[in-house]
Amino acid sequence: MYNGEKLNPAAFIEEQVADIRKTVGKDIVILALSGGVDSTVTALLVKKAIGDNLICIFVDHGLLRKNEFEDVLEHYKGMGLNVKGVRAADRFFAALKGINDPEAKRKAIGGTFIDVFKEEAAAVKDAKWLAQGTIWPDIAESFTGKGVIKSHHNVGGLPEQLGFGLVEPLKFLFKYEVREVGMALGLDSHFIGRHPFPGPGLGVRCLGEVTPEKIHTLQEADAIWIGALRESGWYEKVWQAGAIFVPQKTTGVRDGVRSFDNVIALRAVNSVDAMTAQIVHLPWELLDKVAKQIIDTVPGINRVVFDLSPKPGATIEWE
């Protein structure tokens, strides 16, 4: 909770807008939008404070959900944000080539993002500040008394390398509090209700080396999973859901002959603050329908499993 007390969204907005104005004055602020609620709420807060002096950059690293770059970019422009879309998938896949370790993958994605963002930021004249949608669980998982649980893309590194000052108005909030602030700012339900999505995107939901082919397969399976949750009315009852590509070959049958293909795992959890998470008890009929559709329509997949692991001992993401 913000300052150890129940959040008052209107008071929080007033306080942060005043603080941002005092901090940055008439300087230009740049912000990396991700499509998620955290960076979107941050953008609306900063825009409310400094108007057109906020310039947003939305990087397509090739690890977004199916059609997400085009859909989200259109929504951002409809919200009046000054946003530039940057396609850079090839650079990210090149940086990920041959990497299997989860932390190494996160660092490769983060490092490439810094390179792309530095280039785009250099084109923004007089930019002196970087705004980020960092929230409290990002900080808590990146720095603990027993070491890093997992590195988060927006904790450390970027401001120092760019030489910018840092604006993080949400850094002491939990996800549910960010949503409350978003509602008070008038953010539409498309963003308020979106499930959390990792900064490294599907890169941490694709086990082992990340390739364009694996990501394409994962995007197709994930679209079926998320689409089925929306259609059945379960999407709003789930805090976070996603599909995971598991590069484990298993024997199956396709078109009457033996297949030897990969596995998709389905994940659906409920949480309040992302520090702990519980499994959502979905209807077997729904899981059965999704499994059959993925196996029947997504090439290279012949087995679907459902992840029953809570946090702790698992984390929400597989990597």
Spatial neighbors of 147 by CB under 8 A, at least 6 apart, are none
Domain membership of residue 206 (yes or no) is no
Domain membership of residue 220 (yes or no) is yes
Tokens standing for residue 168: 């993080």
CB 39 within 8 A of CB 32: yes
The answer to which of 40-54, 152-166, 262-276, 291-305 has the lowest mean pLDDT is: 152-166
Q: Check which CATH number belongs to the domain holding 262 and give it.
A: 3.30.300.10
Per the structure, the complete domain to which residue 61 belongs is given by: 2-192
Give me Rg for the CA atoms of the chain.
Answer: 20
Query: Given the structure tokens 């000054």, which residue do they identify?
Result: 82
Q: How far is CA 291 from CA 34, 93, 237, 266, 285, in A?
A: 29, 28, 20, 9, 10
Q: What pLDDT does 86 receive?
A: 96
Mapped onto helix, strand or coil, the DSSP state of residue 278 is strand
Q: What pLDDT does 152 receive?
A: 45
Interval 174-186 mean pLDDT: 93
Domain membership of residue 258 (yes or no) is yes
**Do both 222 and 186 map to the same domain?**
no
Pick from 180, 182, 179: which is nearest to 48 by CA? 182
**Do both 187 and 127 map to the same domain?**
yes
Q: How far is CA 174 from CA 126, 140, 147, 265, in A?
A: 32, 11, 21, 27
Q: Which residue did the predictor score with more confidence, 155 or 13?
A: 13
- How far apart (Å, rounded) are the C-alpha atoms in residues 219 and 259? 21
Give the Cα-Cα-Cα angle 212, 216, 219 (nearest 5 degrees): 135
Q: pLDDT at residue 151 above 90?
A: no
Chain center to CA of 139 = 15
> Based on the structure, what is the number of domains in the chain?
2
Q: pLDDT averaged over the chain?
A: 90
Q: pLDDT at residue 319 above 50?
A: yes
Exposed/middle/buried for residue 145 (C-beta within 10 Å: 0-12, 13-18, 19+): exposed
The answer to which of 147-151, 161-165, 243-247, 273-277 has the lowest mean pLDDT is: 147-151
**Do both 233 and 295 map to the same domain?**
yes
Q: pLDDT at residue 153 above 50?
A: no
Interval 218-240 mean pLDDT: 97
**Do both 216 and 176 map to the same domain?**
no
Tokens standing for residue 200: 């490294």
Q: Which residue did the predictor score with more confidence, 313 or 6?
A: 313
